Structure 1
């Protein structure tokens, strides 16, 4: 492995490096506090109630989803074992509550299962040897038709709710979907065409939109949200290298890609058991479970399409699958309008008002998130995480041009950093992209300050709400007070966007391994900043803040070692900057750049005490089979 040795002295530690290491320390104290105050010795959450519907299992996993991600970044050594203990504890808890069998959800939709499985995916990446068996066993629930989930003849998953007990009929365990008046006011109804306009709203138990018709029409056949199963299958591929997982992704994601092509580029949201789009909805390509009409539309469909396409492209090294996402984005953008968000018909006002702040009254590009018999509606800004994840994977000019066009069409400044937290533990893709474009130089310090504020707020909320016996209606509290915030670290250290929340796999330009302790993450007192992610010039600065201890780390190209470092240009300083001990000041270091060939996915960097190095990595993207292998495997 090529070795680069740092020699430029750290005389004035960068503010971003100090803030980054302080954030890692803050998060370490935060997860310990959450673990102590909210969980039992076996790792399960302190909860004495029952669960009254099929919903809820994801909420027990989501508070921990990014803990092993923090370990991968460089969190405390004992965080890995702690995360595993909580996973096992919560799985046992869900089994006792009747939600799980054989360590996997019995059967629920993948908008929610994708959220909860992020915890499993990050644990597999952090400790592949320990989690390989589960990763492949879970994926085989979908590869093996005998498990009852997948129909290879029609290339469909046989129900929107599916899992360890196969395709699960219906969308609720009760005759009527547990819909509330508040949800109806916010999202309307599924199957809205079954009750004519102007007709009185039937009682819940008699409403065909929420009763037998919903169970019959939305509780069978494939749903677009099932594309997130691709993340589960790709996770198995990364840990095993077994080609049959890549073959399944070609087959299943390929089938959805063809359906989108046949529908003018817009992916439909439902497929009947006969393999025909719309056969359960009187020919409609829209109206399926968690689809275009109800409840979230593009918000959930865009993420599911991105998870499916990116997983297939990663495993097969065929970026053609990404056309599924490109055509979807282009279709809704083409239907956009320029309007202040405050005047939109958005069903998700709270999320976007926090995102836009005072810019809610500024005219901007809004695109339709939903479609029904009445046409397109529910206008919101584009969720930038989806087109950014697309560009991050490909580096293609056409995908960058789409981002630049979106930026030009918005009426607000993409460089603005607001200290909000959204559902995805993300939402700051726009100012990060502006930083990568070179016109938001203060971003590292500002996003780290926002992360400190988020973490401190959540710790305060954690303490305020500790020792409560939560009712079922309040179980979202756990994820809301999770003190681990990783978006800023993921962007700055790995040069990657935060993971797509509904079941994606982590993207990164680079990752790090402690060469001495032989574990993922940067060594103690080392900070990292990625300031460019262009393939021809991916720039990484590493700083050893310790003035007394040497550090050694391995830089890996890609989240899964999938990229090749063809060469590296590294900064170096001539000796003698300290001057003689009789002098009153140091000499200004004389810095030069040396070029070295690498031709592999890994580079060893020696960081003597008190040194820094800036690496300009020349990359060839997707040159190798992606894998969870660690550098010494």
Structure 2
């Protein structure tokens, strides 16, 4: 395996490197306090409240969803052990409450199943050598393959046969709690009517009449509770995760078959993915022929937020196993469709369904006229206006690498109307939302972004530690969202800087990376202790990053891998080496000078190389890449270490 050595001295430690290591040390302390306070010895969450209907599984897994990611970044062995224990404990806890069968959700929608599973996918990526999680990954994926005894999938019509599905098979309806849909559900009022064509029900207040509430509930069960819906596309992540173990064709073939069915439906709808397919395999079968109206679809409740995410997840998984670039149109067209409707005006968070989410993202910039697009569509046309979903546009470009997608992102940012070249102080449960500021850094327009982002992340961890310490755990009652609101493991900025990647698409995406690191001394993934990393530039052809060894005594050896799944080939590496004249003579010097550096180029021809970092040295390599030169696979140290022997 090619080895290069860092020789440029760390004369003055970069502030970002010091802050990065401080953030990681703070998270190490913080997750242990969270664990001690909120979990039992077997890993389950301390909770004795009630759970209602079919909802809630995701909320028990979500507090830990990014703990395996922190391990992959270089967190302690302890956090991986803890993460596995909590997955096992929560799984037992939810099985006892009747929500799981054979360790998998009995049957619920994929908007929420996706949220549950990002934790599981991250565990598989963090330790693919674990035979127990490997067996689970294959078993869970086979719940959806043709011929599965669950009956979740109908290969004749190429549909998942119900919006609620899982280990118990298709689960008809949308939940017992909605057999009637009364106006007293004030939490659902902002989303409006689930169906807008039920006779005699035109506005929300019509649901105050019990007979109307019953008719709406019955219509939801009969029309939204059967057949396929677009968010079911997130199930392809189960198959893609299983495929990453051995590249087995059974999982690849199902992804292609199922995604192709939705692609054909989109092409028949001018390229825009519909949200519903009836039991006979026809779009609009239960919705008067309309392409909208399905569960978690374009009309209700979230529109683009759920359908756009599912399209991105499906396109990502299909591209992972097949490599056909045309699949990105499945995700592009929904974005282009809403962008074509864009208008500039002030954003009123009270008039949109995701208003609070965007209010925190915009901060004081909410006072300006900004670019808004509609997220939802019903019989009255497009409605529910929000700021442009920059995170989706960024994800599309980051995955496809195409110039067109980069241009689409740049044009949207240029028209945004708010100050996106800054780090906005907020944190939501998705551990995302700061992609615009990161893009400004990658374009060379925001040189202070690394420092500002790390300071923000440190503030996030400090605030959540304060919330944990002041909480008596009794005041939360039945709030099953509390734990995710105080999860102190902040990985968004670390993932950007170290992995060169945005956070996982939260409603069911796989964890991604442009770079992965392996600590040769500890024989495990992640940065060695005392080493910091910063991705400086990335494109489909190259990636530039800096590694800094802050340790004044120890040499570190880091194996750097191109591609989160080892799929990219490093054709050549260019890096800095120490020039002559440093540190200079002993006598007659009182100033501190920066060393002169030269650039050196070495051919590689593999997906990994070793970087040796003597004490207090740094290096800034640029990898020239051939993307997707190798099959994507889950990676283990034993696999990559073969080249070190």
Scaled by the length of structure 2, the TM-score of the pair is 0.95
- The match for 1:181 among 160, 180, 185 is 185
Closer, same or farther in 2 for the Cα pair 1:534/1:345, shift >3 Å? same
Which residue matches 1:317?
A: 323
Which residue matches 2:496?
A: 491
Which residue matches 1:557?
A: 562
Closer, same or farther in 2 for the Cα pair 1:255/1:443, shift >3 Å? same
Deviation at 1:378, TM superposition (A): 0.3
Deviation at 1:28, TM superposition (A): 0.7
Is there any run of 5+ residues in structure 2 with no aligned partner, and where? 640-645
- The match for 2:522 among 503, 517, 525 is 517
Q: Is the CA contact 2:183–2:213 (under 8 Å) kept in the aligned structure 1?
A: no
Closer, same or farther in 2 for the Cα pair 1:134/1:56, shift >3 Å? same
Which residue matches 2:540?
A: 535
Q: Deviations over 1:207-254 (max 9, x none)?
A: 256421111111110011101111111111112211221111111111
Which residue matches 2:173?
A: 170
Which residue matches 1:365?
A: 371
Scaled by the length of structure 1, the TM-score of the pair is 0.97
Deviation at 1:587, TM superposition (A): 5.7
Which residue matches 2:643?
A: none
- Rounded to whole Å, the distance in 2 between the matches of 1:209 and 1:429 is 44
Deviation at 1:88, TM superposition (A): 0.1
Which residue matches 2:642?
A: none
Correspondences of 1:445-456 after superposition (within 5 Å): 445-456=451-462
Q: Residue 13 in 1 paired to residue 13 in 2? A: yes
SS of equivalent residue, structure 1 residue 532:
strand
Closer, same or farther in 2 for the Cα pair 1:385/1:179, shift >3 Å? farther
Which residue matches 1:142?
A: 144
Q: Residue 151 in 1 paired to residue 154 in 2? A: yes
Q: Which sits farther off after the overlay, 566-575 or 522-531?
A: 566-575
How many pairs are equivalent? 632
Q: Deviations over 1:244-285 (max 9, x none)?
A: 211111111111111111112221111001000011112121
Q: Deviations over 1:43-79 (max 9, x none)?
A: 0000012312100010000000000010011111211
Which residue matches 2:69?
A: 69
Over the aligned positions, Cα root-mean-square deviation in angstroms equals 1.7
Correspondences of 1:266-277 after superposition (within 5 Å): 266-277=272-283
SS of equivalent residue, structure 2 residue 621:
strand
Is there any run of 5+ residues in structure 1 with no aligned partner, and where? none
Q: Residue 160 in 1 paired to residue 155 in 2? A: no
- Rounded to whole Å, the distance in 1 between the matches of 2:475 and 2:38 is 10
- Rounded to whole Å, the distance in 2 between the matches of 1:445 and 1:410 is 24
- The match for 1:482 among 463, 487, 494 is 487
Q: Which sits farther off after the overlay, 381-390 or 585-594?
A: 585-594
- Rounded to whole Å, the distance in 1 between the matches of 2:141 and 2:195 is 32
Deviation at 1:179, TM superposition (A): 7.5
Q: Deviations over 1:3-45 (max 9, x none)?
A: 1111111110000000000000111111100000000000000
- Rounded to whole Å, the distance in 2 between the matches of 1:443 and 1:519 is 30
SS of equivalent residue, structure 1 residue 294:
coil
Closer, same or farther in 2 for the Cα pair 1:210/1:94, shift >3 Å? farther
Closer, same or farther in 2 for the Cα pair 1:349/1:576, shift >3 Å? same
Correspondences of 1:35-434 after superposition (within 5 Å): 35-130=35-130, 131-145=133-147, 146-174=149-177, 175-176=179-180, 180-194=184-198, 195-197=200-202, 200-203=206-209, 206-208=212-214, 210-342=216-348, 345-434=351-440
Which residue matches 1:595?
A: 601
Which residue matches 1:500?
A: 505
